Structure 1
Amino acid sequence: VISQQPNVYERLNREGVEFLTVTAGKFKRTLTPFKKPTDEDFKKSEEDLEAIWTLFKDFVQQQRPHLDVPSIATGETWFGMDALERNLVDELKTADDVLLEKRDQGKEIYTVKYTEPDASPLATLLPAGSD
């Protein structure tokens, strides 16, 4: 679990920009790009990330009870055969193989295609619509 963001507090401060935030609740905004973080902010953010990581590990353990979760909950990524050998996936297939299986089972297969909407007459009058 990762949380990262730029912190521009010092730069804004040098430029004379004061960023104001109104919140309700002590930990509503811990780490933000616009204020100088405190040790307490970092501690709370780390606690939140640990809680998210624990929820994730517990969910994986419930779905795959025979999996050694501590050995795989390391932030690493495994692909293909490595994932299969670690029991992270049940099988390896291409999307085409899955679609063909579903078709053979009598399932309906749909194709979705995005089409750009026609420009409205009003849009052609606006500068952005006059390309």
Structure 2
Amino acid sequence: MIITINLRGTIGENTFAGIKSQLDASLRNKNVKGVILDINSGGGSASASELIYEAVSHLNENKPVFSVVTGTAASGAYMIACATRKIYSIHTGLIGSVGVISMSPDVSELLDKIGVKVNVLSKGREKASMNPFQKSTEEDLLRQNVILSEIYDFFMTIVKERRHLSDEQASEVGNSGIYAAKEAEKLNLIDQVDSYGKIIESIKNELGEKSDPVVMKRKIPFLLRFAMKFLGQ
């Protein structure tokens, strides 16, 4: 039996909880020969992406895991794909965005115009460094850049090592660009581009499985299922 686990939308804490439970169930089930991670996500939380990456890596050490990009595999979602044995994509897939971004609003000038003042009390020199009600200092921005650089280097190390990229390839993909499937294949970000049906057949043949993959759905908690039944949902 082959299990398909869907990775959809913005990656966050809830994503990790759902994916982890499905990965663990696949590992425990002796009938599961392999797992397909069906990806359509633009990324999200760096920490949640790292946790899912580690969980997928653990499963892949015990049972083959394959990524199939059916839409987008960008940023943290691509990091997770790198944990799998092979990365496939349909022809219209979008892959990459190997980078990190941090955004914080600055409404200080707007508050000045409308005559609003905000009193901020904090302990610790850098505690209020991302306070949206005051302009970030050059020191604040430098500190944030150091943090982002560390996360970026971690991401790039994963991509370079898991995808066996040359220095030239790593330099290209490290600019945070996003690539169409064929270009991503040329850069060795993915292994193969094909139609969804042919990709599934390739995975089935590799695993020696004749049956089509079974989609694993996230289990709904008992109390929620009870409430839905009570309400006729």
Worse-matched range after superposition: 28-37 or 53-62 = 28-37
How many Å separate the matches in 1 of 2:117 and 2:209?
63
- Verify the 8 A CA contact 1:7 1:33 in the aligned structure 2: yes
For 2:159, the aligned partner's letter is: V
1:110 aligns with 2:215: yes
Instruction: Describe the superposition over 1:26-46 as per-residue Cα deviations: whole angstroms up to 9, x where unpaired.
Output: 434422322221111111111
User: Which protein is bigger by CA-based radius of gyration?
Assistant: 1
**Is 1:20 paired with 2:124?**
no
CA contact (8 A) 1:6 1:33 kept: yes
Count the aligned residue pairs: 118
SS at 1:47 equivalent = helix
- Inter-partner Cα distance in structure 2 for 1:6 and 1:34: 8
Distance in 2 between residues matched to 1:22 and 1:95, nearest whole Å? 54
Higher relative contact order (CA 8 A, sep 6+): 2
- The 5 A counterparts of 1:18-97 are 18-20=118-120, 22=122, 25-68=124-167, 69-97=170-198
Output the amino acid matched with 2:189: L
SS in 2 for 1:51: helix
Q: Check 1:95–1:20 CA distance in 2 against 1; reply closer, same or farther (3 A cut).
A: farther
Kept after mapping to 1: 8 A contact 2:130/2:136: yes
Q: Give TM-score, length-normalised by structure 1.
A: 0.66
Q: What is the rounded CA distance, in whole Å, between the counterparts of 1:38 and 1:106 in structure 2?
A: 61
TM-superposed CA distance for 1:99, in Å, is: 4.8
